[in-house]
Chains A and B, each alone.
Chain A
Amino acid sequence: MSRIVIDSEKCKACYLCVKECPKKLIKISDKTNKLGDRIVEFVDPEGVCLGCAMCANRCPDLAIREVYKG
């Protein structure tokens, strides 16, 4: 099962990854980080993540720091 690892302290809430995910698995969360930004979270209950790493390639702040394809 593919998955991504998000470093929420690096997220600056630009939400470019939300639009980039082809399966729309990245959602805007209610939680905030130290900057006070509403961070993104990875929601994939059905395990449909492709592991394409497009979100990580798009993220300007390297907040999506790891992508595993499985």
Chain B
Amino acid sequence: METQVFKVPDSFKKDFKYTFCPGCDHGVAIRLVAEVMDELGIRENTIAATSIGCSVTIYDFLNIDAIEAPHGRALAVATGVKRATPDKFVFTYQGDGDFASIGLAESLHSALRGECLSSICINNTTYGMTGGQLGPTTLLGQVTTTSPTGRNVEYYGYPIKIAEHVALCDGTAFSARVSLDTIANIRKAKQAIKKAFEVQLNGLGFGFVEILSTCPTNWRMSPEKAHERVRNEMMPIFVPGIYKDITSKGNN
């Protein structure tokens, strides 16, 4: 007697095929979003506001309604969608350049207004789609195409810690940072995404998850080495954890 323990989530389009580079963690992140939508049964009622970057392609793969926002303005567009149709489930799927660089004002003010939205931010410490330039989350010392001698504090300043900043906003109901480097962390990431979706469904406020992801192509690494980099170099700086959860007893 066989039992099926894994299947492609129903929220995916039929005959979809990812267009990401080999080993890119975007694929895992989108699968987790689809699995959570399946479990909560909200696919039919969902509108996604998408960003600019590799993350934009989410509407090619998921069988949901989506609206394309100008660069960085996904949460501004999502605010409008949610206020016009408050019964819909609205989420954004953005990269770190989109969320924390050009769209930082829109992103943080959505959290400060306490909009009932969910937002997922993929942090891969670079601008992946445009060729690996220095982004807001680029680590100190990291070599990119626009910082060929490595990021130094004197010239470029420090990387932004997004999950902590969002957690400081009073309108935020849930803010967490997760990683996809091991299977255990992938399971934790799914729980965090589910929580960020549930706070919107319960009308509690802004739900946010920052996902530490890989960019093997622009990091010039094999997919396996890229996961080691996430573990050894990114996770000590961008520490995974739940930074705010108003539904927990301690109100951390």
Contact = CB atoms under 8 A, between A and B. Distances in A.
B31 A62 contact: yes
Nearest to A64: B6
Interface string B1-36: 111111110001000011011111111100100000
B183 A69 contact: no
A67 B6 contact: yes
Interface string A36-70: 01000000000000010110111111101111111
Interface residues of B, number: 28
B183 A57 contact: yes
Interface in A3-61: 3, 9-10, 12-16, 19-20, 37, 51, 53-54, 56-61
Contact of B18 (A53, A62, A67, A68): A62
A3 B2 CA distance: 9
Nearest to B34: A62
Interface residues of A, number: 29
Given A15-B224, A53-B6, A65-B8, 16 more contacts: A12-B21, A15-B223, A16-B23, A16-B223, A20-B183, A57-B6, A57-B186, A60-B26, A61-B18, A61-B20, A62-B12, A62-B31, A65-B7, A68-B5, A69-B4, A70-B1
16 contacts: A12-B21, A14-B22, A14-B23, A15-B224, A16-B223, A54-B183, A56-B6, A59-B27, A60-B18, A60-B25, A60-B28, A65-B7, A66-B7, A67-B4, A68-B3, A68-B4
The 8 closest A-B pairs by CB, nearest first: A60-B27, A14-B23, A67-B6, A12-B22, A70-B2, A14-B22, A53-B6, A56-B6
